[in-house]
Structure 1
């Protein structure tokens, strides 16, 4: 992590460094454990989050959004609001403002076998819970929007073929004032940026 933050070292470069430290004379003779390095990295990050948010060695299980930081500047009853904030005639000061957008670059390749696709987290972080999200997608109806903007890539991306990918991007909702992502309000896209994806992310943001 420090090598990445300070030197912008990629995981592959870090792995090559480990091989040379293991056997400086013949680094190519070191067994290829590049895939295992990625697995250990994800597990290490997950363990660090569990410790950081106070769920280590106490038997407690994190719930939705418990392993993600909420926007510190957003109004939160019991944290940064006065006790009588509901009696304030200017309640507009305590409203939360959100903005949403999609990123078509965060694609995910479909795993070859389901048993190798192990989820370390479901909805404890910023991503939403996948089973309820899948139920929403199965019941939602897609609206065919008329493209009125020239070269609107977000809508044109619906018909783009992503061979071998089960995720074609991410829809995210963030605090409009401070830009912090809302926990459990980040969802996957399957066929470009569709309204049904952003609707679910917006609902989760309003319920958080």
Structure 2
């Protein structure tokens, strides 16, 4: 059983640059951040499907609700990551930028990349996420999951740490 913890940080912000072409990635595909091209395609396609900003209904997750406020001067409003629950280290290629708070599409991408990351004979995974009660409802129905998962037979358990 591989265990992952998932969460976001809303203080890691990045402002829009006056000349966007000067904003270059130092190590695209070589670190903990996701590869920019496929990630931007994923985000663009889902925004075009008009995924609305959501207000969580099960708990009042103030940090997420406050982060979902639009900030036009920011290119990145925070980061989200999937990490190993045992060791606490980020899974390579599983740290994503937030464009407008913590949308589920961002975290879907992070979690799918973590599940795809090379691991020997993992048949099951436990995902611990503080908004799992809302996020888990649609995760397995996402086209991104079905098209890009390492194994569709992977047994995934989802847990909200606040509901223990």
Instruction: Provide TM-score, normalisation by structure 2.
Output: 0.63
Following TM superposition, by how much is the alpha carbon of 1:187 offset from its aligned partner in structure 2, in angstroms?
0.3
RMSD of aligned C-alpha atoms?
Answer: 1.7
Encode CA deviations 1:47-83: one digit per residue, 9 max, x unaligned.
xxxxxxxxxxxxxxxxxxxxxxxxxxxxxxxxxxxxx
Gaps of 5+ in 2: 118-164
| 1:97–1:177 Cα contact (<8 Å) kept | yes
For residues 180-199 of structure 1, the aligned pairs below 5 Å read: 180-199=89-108
Gaps of 5+ in 1: 1-94
Structure-2 change in CA distance of 1:128 and 1:151 (3 Å): closer
Provide the secondary structure at the position in 1 that maps to 2:44: helix
Aligned to 2:78: 169
Aligned to 2:42: 136
The total of aligned residue pairs comes to: 113
For 1:151 and 1:184, the matched residues in 2 are separated by 26
Larger radius of gyration: 1
For 2:25 and 2:56, the matched residues in 1 are separated by 37
Structure-2 change in CA distance of 1:120 and 1:150 (3 Å): closer
Structure-2 change in CA distance of 1:123 and 1:152 (3 Å): same
Following TM superposition, by how much is the alpha carbon of 1:138 offset from its aligned partner in structure 2, in angstroms?
1.5
For residues 75-94 of structure 1, the aligned pairs below 5 Å read: none
| 1:147–1:155 Cα contact (<8 Å) kept | no
Larger helix percent:
1
The reply to whether residue 125 of structure 1 matches residue 45 of structure 2 is: no
For residues 141-160 of structure 1, the aligned pairs below 5 Å read: 141=49, 142=51, 144-150=54-60, 152-159=62-69
Structure-2 change in CA distance of 1:156 and 1:115 (3 Å): closer
